[in-house]
A and B are shown apart, each in its own frame.
Chain A
Amino acid sequence: GAVVSQHPSRVICKSGTSVKIECRSLDFQATTMFWYRQFPKQSLMLMATSNEGSKATYEQGVEKDKFLINHASLTLSTLTVTSAHPEDSSFYICSPDRETQYFGPGTRLLVL
């Protein structure tokens, strides 16, 4: 069964609103969570690494004030896209740092 869940699986929002994406590890504790973004017909790009109880580490070019990451517990990490714009439309995937590389099912965000 699934070991990582994401919610919502799909979201459509208006430009300027904020969207929160939740990533939960179901059967284990994840001290580290990787957040990826996938554009159509492009590869996955690592956005940031969240660490439970501390600040996230962002990859070069990723705006930390726009993509807020919170890893408040060992089973939940959240990514909030603030003031979303159409160019933020993408597929967002989380992956806990584990021996076996599990990925969440992804959240498809469409900003109108």
Chain B
Amino acid sequence: GEDVEQSLFLSVREGDSSVINCTYTDSSSTYLYWYKQEPGAGLQLLTYIFSNMDMKQDQRLTVLLNKKDKHLSLRIADTQTGDSAIYFCAESIRRDDKIIFGKGTRLHILP
């Protein structure tokens, strides 16, 4: 069945890079997403990657996809206090299909 797994917590010092990892089971996943949820707020789409890509970079964010291992990662360079949030990995087969979410990784920034 469809499943998305990610670690629940990550602590990183301010200024360091954060790497959040995710694995998924559905090999037919076409779209892979990273969402950010700040306390008390809804989800915000950070970035997404097509399954035929292996890397996408957008400013401080770098997404790496290993389709063979069904492994997705989100790297945040120069982590700031404003990056403190829960990050959700998600996948869907089509762009207009339902999205399957992981449980979210809570990123904690250490001073």
Contacts and interface: CB of A to CB of B under 8 A. Distances in A.
Interface residues of B, number: 21
Interface in A67-98: 93, 95, 97
Given A32-B96, A49-B98, A41 B43 contact: no
Nearest to A97: B96
Contact of B103 (A34, A43, A103): A43
Contacts of B45: 100-103
A2 B88 CA distance: 20
B101 A44 contact: yes
Contact of B98 (A6, A34, A99, A104): A34
A45 B101 CA distance: 7
Interface residues of A, number: 22
Contacts, number: 47
Nearest to A105: B42
Contacts of B41: 105-106
B110 interface: no
Interface in A11-65: 32, 34, 41-46, 49, 59
For the complex of A and B, list the 7 residue pairs with the smallest distance between their C-beta atoms, beginning with the closest.
A103-B43, A105-B42, A43-B101, A44-B101, A43-B103, A106-B42, A103-B42
13 contacts: A41-B8, A41-B103, A42-B103, A43-B101, A43-B102, A44-B88, A44-B101, A45-B101, A46-B98, A59-B98, A95-B43, A101-B45, A101-B99
Interface of B: 4, 8, 33, 35, 41-45, 48, 88, 90, 95-96, 98-104
